[in-house]
Structure 1
């Protein structure tokens, strides 16, 4: 059976992707189970279809024309009413904004220049809504209104428990409050770092914000249990990075692997480990059980104590506690 398209990486969900199809510009916004294609002045909702590779979506324009979009990494193909466009290439977003107003000549001496706000996304369900904020503006869209409303004049206020954004447009205003408490997407269960409340033109919406990887990366983690069995001796450790890597101490050896977040879960690749012999059978078994459990992980969660739960479906295969120790540098 031809597989269905894989879900997009979490960092891609809700983020507009611009493509150049030999001079024809299109924009695609990926969501967990669909995509929105902006093309020729229209926004078309697309659903996933089976594909041998990459992620393929199809949908009908308002006039009944079928649109087929097939993304394969940094390239894509676009077919509209049976007409194939030349290969589309992803246009990378410029990074110049990250260095604006940072030279001594441009930075006021009376007060430090505010840090540039990288793109921040928040979303909710029932009804679906999406917020995307950068350094200067906020884009607001819903399932029934995918052509985003743009709010400008953005201001940001930092609080001890999170931050707030406010922005305006003619005849309206948007206010976003992000509280730094773990929020689980109501459809996928994916943990996000912030619980978000958005007020738009007198209406209030609740949902989750931030990148799920930020739930994992700020801490190192010390394994407390594997399959419900408490650790003995020197426990394994884990640390995750924003570039999709995981590493730590397995019990006898150092280990490293890929750690890929999708729209619905977490996959940890086959771990590579050093080849030092374990000093006793207990440590050897504990390391073997840990590495095997990593390979079973399909998602993660955070419990009420702040412990990390790595799960295979609904089963917790690894429980870990936060630690200040660098998981990549085990004690000697």
Structure 2
């Protein structure tokens, strides 16, 4: 790789074609060991954030690509980019290898996946990949390679311990083979001659910022034109309409378990038939114990401790 050229103290960034400046991207992110680097271009003016600290930089002449230098008097930092790979040097220390974080994976990292028979665990951070095998007795580690974005998700291809390590992550909903717990990602890991299949991502991703319209309660279609609704928000917030009254509660997921806190509702009076629907709906919600997603994520099923269930379909707010 190109050698480092001594320059004045400060922060300097060198870049080759296909960098943020050439592609017109507003933001480019990189994982450099423990450091997270974000280069932002706004109205033609660059800024650089290093591990959460924003640095003032200016563009400098360069024989190839683009070079930036800090103007805020901070520690000497150099950054060299070439396509998906780069080098970061801070304070004259040994350069650290970097890889570009693609837009499709930025929101996903850090990522965890797991599988059974035999059990395995996979962790992907902005800088590395860790695979635990053989009931945790074997640890495989590698620098995170650039992500390969495809129509159905992301892929990573690298080597660890002299053997190929290939990871495929798709957006298909996955059910744990032991407990049946739904997860937002389906994962396949090929390491040497071993192929592992399992599930990944955080369970709450399946529900966060989604809206549902209840269609059946205990196998019976909801009558009328005011069906109960559920809207999941950040930090477990769950709101909606019982059919007559608005309600609020906090929902949590713990493996296959789906739990709610006390359900608070307004006290409006409605016709008897509508109140019967609301009472059945809120009763299931108040005693909720498990949930599942079916039909590719378009159908939500919530069951309570007594075995009663509600079925809802994804809708628009």
User: Once structures 1 and 2 are overlaid, which stretch shifts more, 173-182 or 106-115?
Assistant: 106-115
> Which among 265, 269, 287 is matched to residue 257 of structure 2?
265
Whether 1:274 aligns to 2:266 is: yes
Whether 1:189 aligns to 2:180 is: yes
Q: Provide the residue aligned with 2:145 in structure 1.
A: 154
Q: Shift of the alpha carbon at 1:290?
A: 0.8
Q: Provide the residue aligned with 1:236 in structure 2.
A: 228
> Which among 156, 159, 168 is matched to residue 177 of structure 1?
168
Where does structure 1 lack aligned partners over 5 or more consecutive residues?
1-96, 326-332
Q: Shift of the alpha carbon at 1:179?
A: 1.9
Q: Provide the residue aligned with 1:293 in structure 2.
A: 284
Q: Describe how 1:87-106 pairs up with structure 2 within 5 A.
A: 100-103=37-40, 104-106=46-48
Q: Shift of the alpha carbon at 1:214?
A: 1.4
Where does structure 2 lack aligned partners over 5 or more consecutive residues?
1-33, 41-45, 50-64, 67-80, 84-99
Q: Provide the residue aligned with 2:243 in structure 1.
A: 251
CA distance in 1, matches of 2:130, 2:101: 24
Q: Describe how 1:64-75 pairs up with structure 2 within 5 A.
A: none
Are 1:251 and 1:287, in contact at CA under 8 Å, matched by a contact in 2?
yes
Are 2:256 and 2:291, in contact at CA under 8 Å, matched by a contact in 1?
no
Are 1:136 and 1:153, in contact at CA under 8 Å, matched by a contact in 2?
yes
Q: Shift of the alpha carbon at 1:181?
A: 1.5
In structure 2, do the counterparts of structure 1 residues 153 and 207 end up closer, same or farther at CA, with 3 Å as the change threshold?
A: closer
Q: Shift of the alpha carbon at 1:321?
A: 0.2
Q: Shift of the alpha carbon at 1:254?
A: 1.5
Task: Point out the structure with max Rg over C-alpha.
Answer: 2
In structure 2, do the counterparts of structure 1 residues 282 and 98 end up closer, same or farther at CA, with 3 Å as the change threshold?
A: farther
CA distance in 1, matches of 2:141, 2:219: 49
Q: Shift of the alpha carbon at 1:195?
A: 1.5
In structure 2, do the counterparts of structure 1 residues 146 and 272 end up closer, same or farther at CA, with 3 Å as the change threshold?
A: farther
In structure 2, do the counterparts of structure 1 residues 255 and 190 end up closer, same or farther at CA, with 3 Å as the change threshold?
A: same
In structure 2, do the counterparts of structure 1 residues 316 and 131 end up closer, same or farther at CA, with 3 Å as the change threshold?
A: farther
RMSD across aligned C-alpha pairs, in angstroms? 2.7
2:276 aligned counterpart, secondary structure: helix
User: Between Structure 1 and Structure 2, how many residues are aligned?
Assistant: 228
Q: Describe how 1:1-332 pairs up with structure 2 within 5 A.
A: 100-103=37-40, 104-106=46-48, 114-115=102-103, 116=106, 117-146=108-137, 148-233=139-224, 234-278=226-270, 280-304=271-295, 306-312=298-304, 315=307, 317-325=309-317
| Structure-2-length-normalised TM-score | 0.65
1:270 aligned counterpart, secondary structure: coil
In structure 2, do the counterparts of structure 1 residues 314 and 120 end up closer, same or farther at CA, with 3 Å as the change threshold?
A: farther
CA distance in 2, matches of 1:273, 1:165: 47
